[in-house]
Chain A
Amino acid sequence: MRKSHPVRRVVLATAATVSGVVLLLSLKPSSDPTAAAAGTAPQQAAGARQSPQGATRPAGAAGGTVTGDATQTQYGTVQVRLTVAGGKIAKAEAVQAPKGGLSDQKTAMAVPKLNQEAVAAQSAQIDAVSGATYTSNGYKKSLQSALDRMKSAAAPAPSASSPAASGARSGSGAAQARSVTVTGKVAQTQYGPVQVRITMSGGRITQASAVQAPKGGLSDQKTAMAVPKLNQEAVAAGTAHIDTVSGATYTSTGYRQSLQSALDQAGG
């Protein structure tokens, strides 16, 4: 039987908890360390302004970049970006790869190999890196979608006057000669990242698409419902002042943020 000191105990418990949480949070890096570790460009690079030629004729002779679909794996998202030159893959890199704990090591080990293999094979028929099966499979899927995009962009656009944008499927048809494809920054939402890519032509948005949107469970439905509307709204409004799709508030907010950053890049 000991004397109890309730006040002291409350103060101690509060102080210990608060300082523990603050310590844990401050020990975490503020930017993602694995983006560099994986040998990939940081995500902002994806949003960097791309050269007009490259963007308008990604699969053409001049080259450009094509980003594949973000593929979900058990350990995280994999997304491949190809630099195309002369109709061939000049460079492959992962803009997203699994992160955290063991995944960091695996990503660091597997991604450079997969990048090399992709360039060597010029197709998605590449070997899985042993010990990183999930990442390899995700990589292959994303690579395949990037290759599809590269080809589809090349096929319906034989003439230089129809600059279909990379990543965008529905071409807006006639467009001005100088159009620019810009990818906005990734906006984190409660349900997952949202990233918007727009094609600007003559100072107007001719196309908008989401290269990333929340996935999994309920999110799939919401994304399927909201993203097409948001794309339309963005094209119609020409600005980031678009209405929220009801039932998908977070996705809409993330979309607006990413759209705004894309517009900023295109404008500045």
Chain B
Amino acid sequence: MSTTLAGGRAARRQTMRRIRPRRSPAVPLLLAVWAGAAAVLWLWWHNTPSVADDTGRILNAGRITGLLAGYLMALVVLQMARVPALERRVGSDRVSRWHAMSGRYTLCLIVAHVFLTMWGYARQAGKSLNDIVQQTIDSINQLPDVGKAAIGTGLFVLIGLTSIGPVRRRMPYDTWYHVHLLTYAAVFLTYWHQLTTGNDFAVQPMAKTFWYGLYGTVTALVLWYRVLTPIRLNLKHRMRVEAVIEETPGIVSVLIGGRKLHRMGAEAGQFFRWRFLAPGMRFSSHPYSLSAAPRPDMLRITVKAIGDHSERLRELTPGTRVWAEGPYGAMTAQRRSRGKVLLVAGGVGITPMRALFETLPGAAGDITLLYRANTTQDLALWDELAKIADERGARLMYAVNSPEGERPDISAESLERKIPDIERHDVFMCGPAGFAQSVYEALRGAGVPARRIHHESFEM
């Protein structure tokens, strides 16, 4: 059984919109981050008249790494605060890659800071590097707030270990997620020693104010966007499962009803993090893209049953309450420039493409969808795609394996043959990593500039 969810008037109106490309704010944001780092280094520079000997060098290296770690720690948390400018404009995928990258770097800085500082103190007390453990214990006992900071550092190391690729893959998602939530505790525990033992904050009231401001802002943003905003959203829209429909073997659509759903501000191509309040599912949320433009009374997600969570989606009963956070994601119409658009979907990656196919602004002949699946039976949502193509005058192509199991040819040449003016297209892409990589290379080979290939990837 399959569904056909027609977008109706709202979707049709969207196709007539003017195309307004918007720049990603990534560059100004990165500049601000570097400026902040420079300010932190300046703080050290300003407060340090001289560095006398090796002990002084070690201690000051410890101070520099500590200051930078304290600064970056706030940013690492900020990246996961679900701030709309980051999630919807820069893109959730890119921000979470930043988060992973800066998180690893910060952890390295923390470890370096602890090691250098303890080594420096040991030297100062006339002891050698071998006494560093004893020195650490002494410092924990004697210095204000350093005990707390040690616990926090332990948590950071634990969080870092559970996030190493192979460890994380072997671990249930929920466990990893809940360990990761300890970050907030770790940041809180390590915060205080920065102010009480940090040289730069002791002598510079301005620096202290700046630090309070930085951490205060991040805390406020986390509370606002991770706690209050979702509560408000869900109280207002009160979503429940309406129906679960099997589209093709292994792919299900979940229809979600609620109040005034078109007022959530979701656009085609975006996703929500969904939490279904059913036994065994309520403790973790998962990102699934909307597979149709939002309607006032109905949202739809389409999911391939690959993990524990998506497997259970089949058994959802109508009426189950739904807790959603979003909308997130920047792969929307605002990414495109003025011109034609090629949508490329691999397997269940069709979901955001299906919604974009319906709503992207463009005249007849401007929009093309290329849909790759293993067999024609796996082409989920095909009927409604055909209908949209018909109504909009859009092109719809599919590529499946031959009956012998041979993969279809998606190369620069075949793409150019099928779409002669391909280099003038914006390309939106969604699919498994390997597929996306090979299509990306084919597109580049066919002359599509990299900045016009839009792809969301949640591979770290």
Chain A residues packing against B (C-beta within 8 Å): 1-2, 9, 13-14, 17, 21, 24-25, 28-34, 74-76, 99-101, 188-190, 216-218, 247, 249-250, 253
CB within 8 Å for A1 and B437 given contacts A24-B41, A100-B49, A249-B142? yes
Do the beta carbons of B124 and A190 come within 8 Å of each other? Answer: yes
Do the beta carbons of B65 and A21 come within 8 Å of each other? Answer: yes
Do the beta carbons of A13 and B436 come within 8 Å of each other? Answer: no
Min distance, Cβ A8 to any Cβ of chain B, angstroms: 13
- Sample of 5 more A-B contacts, CB < 8 Å, known A21-B64, A24-B44: A25-B60, A28-B60, A29-B51, A32-B49, A190-B121
CB within 8 Å for A31 and B105 given contacts A25-B61, A101-B46? no
Q: Which 5 A-B pairs have the closest CB atoms?
A: A28-B51, A99-B49, A101-B46, A1-B455, A32-B50
Sample 11 A-B pairs with CB under 8 A, ordered by A number.
A1-B429, A1-B436, A14-B108, A17-B65, A25-B64, A28-B45, A28-B51, A99-B49, A190-B124, A190-B143, A218-B144
Chain B CB within 10 A, most for which of A13, A21, A31, A74: A21
CB within 8 Å for A30 and B124 given contacts A2-B450, A25-B57, A216-B202? no
Do the beta carbons of A34 and B49 come within 8 Å of each other? Answer: yes
Is B313 positioned at the interface, with any CB of A under 8 Å from its CB? no
**Cα of A218 to Cα of B197 in the assembled complex, Å:** 11
**Cα of A14 to Cα of B111 in the assembled complex, Å:** 13
**Cα of A32 to Cα of B45 in the assembled complex, Å:** 13
Chain B, interface SS category: helix
Do the beta carbons of B48 and A28 come within 8 Å of each other? Answer: yes
Q: B107 — which chain A residues lie within 8 A by C-beta?
A: none
Q: B457 — which chain A residues lie within 8 A by C-beta?
A: 1
Do the beta carbons of A253 and B126 come within 8 Å of each other? Answer: yes
Is B47 positioned at the interface, with any CB of A under 8 Å from its CB? yes
CB within 8 Å for A189 and B50 given contacts A25-B57, A218-B144? no
Q: B61 — which chain A residues lie within 8 A by C-beta?
A: 21, 25
The number of residue pairs between A and B whose CB atoms lie closer than 8 Å in the complex comes to: 74
Would you give the 0/1 interface string for B423-442, flagging 1 where the beta carbon is closer than 8 Å to chain A? 00000010000001100100
**Cα of A30 to Cα of B49 in the assembled complex, Å:** 9
Is B52 positioned at the interface, with any CB of A under 8 Å from its CB? yes
**Cα of A250 to Cα of B143 in the assembled complex, Å:** 11
Is B305 positioned at the interface, with any CB of A under 8 Å from its CB? no
Do the beta carbons of A24 and B47 come within 8 Å of each other? Answer: no
Q: B60 — which chain A residues lie within 8 A by C-beta?
A: 25, 28
**Cα of A74 to Cα of B204 in the assembled complex, Å:** 8
Q: A247 — which chain B residues lie within 8 A by C-beta?
A: 142
Min distance, Cβ A198 to any Cβ of chain B, angstroms: 21
Do the beta carbons of B144 and A189 come within 8 Å of each other? Answer: no
Would you give the 0/1 interface string for B24-57, flagging 1 where the beta carbon is closer than 8 Å to chain A? 0000000000000000010011111111110011
Is B138 positioned at the interface, with any CB of A under 8 Å from its CB? yes
Write the chain A residue with the least CB distance to B205. A74
**Cα of A32 to Cα of B49 in the assembled complex, Å:** 6
Is B80 positioned at the interface, with any CB of A under 8 Å from its CB? no
Min distance, Cβ A73 to any Cβ of chain B, angstroms: 11
Q: A99 — which chain B residues lie within 8 A by C-beta?
A: 49
Min distance, Cβ B319 to any Cβ of chain A, angstroms: 40
Min distance, Cβ A186 to any Cβ of chain B, angstroms: 11
**Cα of A17 to Cα of B112 in the assembled complex, Å:** 11
Within residues 313 to 345 of chain B, which ones have a CB less than 8 A from any CB in chain A? none
Write the chain A residue with the least CB distance to B450. A2
Q: A17 — which chain B residues lie within 8 A by C-beta?
A: 65, 109
